[in-house]
């Protein structure tokens, strides 16, 4: 497990009043700066950023999913769990994260990945769109192990609905990939001191 690549998801919600374009520019600058650190070489291979696209606002409203705030979702690809933990303990890496939007909210966590469908041939049919849904389990616990197992329980409850949806002719025709990123039960979390040094994180305070 320690030598296997690790995916980490970071959810960053901007401080109230932050312009969308300004937040996106700063998120991109943060990713470039993190990748450019000497300590990241060999440890962090890629950062992929996702921003809300209001072009498809009507689709979101029809699905009654709720419009997202000014935010960004970042996917980090680490060489291994050991490399991830060493980089998270690096003062310069933590300084970059801690200084990014200190009045905003961020959550960063390693994930387990479950891919339900992967049919790249669908992508050749025209314009593509990536859809992301973030699901939060209300809890009063701030224990990482408890939170991870609650996330796993939610995934298992959703699994029949996911499989039923993906079996429909419509989904088979247009869905190229459907992947669930679930809070990891197997990877280590950094110390609370490191988490707290990286800014206002949901995982540093009780949930309600």
The Cα–Cα gap between 138 and 54 comes to 27
Model confidence band, residue 94 (pLDDT cutoffs 50, 70, 90): confident
Give mean pLDDT, residues 148-154: 91
Residue 64's pLDDT is 66
Residue 6's pLDDT is 94
Residue 141's pLDDT is 64
Residue 130's pLDDT is 83
- Kindly tell me if the per-residue pLDDT of 127 is higher than 50: yes
Q: Decide yes or no: CATH 3.40.1370.10 for domain 6-204.
A: no
Give mean pLDDT, residues 168-194: 84
- Kindly tell me if the per-residue pLDDT of 191 is higher than 70: no
Which of 29-33, 131-135, 137-141 has the highest average model confidence (pLDDT)? 29-33
Model confidence band, residue 33 (pLDDT cutoffs 50, 70, 90): very high
- β-bridge pairing 177-183 and 105-118: antiparallel
Answer with the residue of higher pLDDT: 203 or 29. Answer: 29
The Cα–Cα gap between 76 and 96 comes to 15
Structural contact between residues 175 and 70, judged by C-beta atoms closer than 8 angstroms = no
Q: Classify 88 as helix, strand or coil.
A: helix
pLDDT tens, residue by residue, 36-86: 999 999 999 999 999 988 776 676 677 666 677 899 999 999 999 999 999
Structural contact between residues 24 and 72, judged by C-beta atoms closer than 8 angstroms = yes
Of 7-11, 35-39, 146-150, the least confident: 146-150
For 55, 100, 124, 203, the CA distances from 199, given in Å and listed in that order, are: 31, 8, 41, 11
């Amino acid at each position: 497990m320690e030598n296997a690549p690790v995916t980490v998801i970071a959810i960053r919600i901007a401080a109230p009043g932050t312009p969308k374009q300004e937040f996106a520019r700063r998120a991109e600058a943060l990713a470039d700066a993190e990748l450019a650190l000497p300590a990241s070489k060999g440890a962090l291979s890629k950062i992929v950023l996702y921003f809300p696209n209001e072009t498809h606002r009507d689709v979101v409203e029809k699905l009654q999913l709720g419009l997202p705030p000014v935010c960004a979702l970042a996917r980090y690809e680490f060489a291994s769990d050991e490399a991830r933990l060493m980089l998270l303990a690096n003062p310069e890496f933590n300084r970059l994260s801690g200084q990014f939007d200190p009045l905003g909210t961020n959550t960063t966590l390693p994930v387990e990945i479950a891919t339900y469908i992967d049919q790249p041939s669908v992508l050749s049919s025209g314009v593509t769109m990536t859809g992301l849904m973030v699901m939060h389990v209300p809890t009063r616990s701030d224990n990482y192990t408890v939170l991870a197992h609650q996330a796993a329980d939610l995934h298992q409850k959703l699994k029949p609905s996911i499989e039923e949806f993906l079996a429909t002719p419509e989904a088979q025709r247009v869905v190229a990939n459907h992947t669930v990123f679930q809070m990891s039960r197997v990877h280590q979390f950094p110390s609370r001191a490191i988490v707290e040094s990286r800014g206002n994180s949901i995982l540093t305070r009780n949930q309600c």
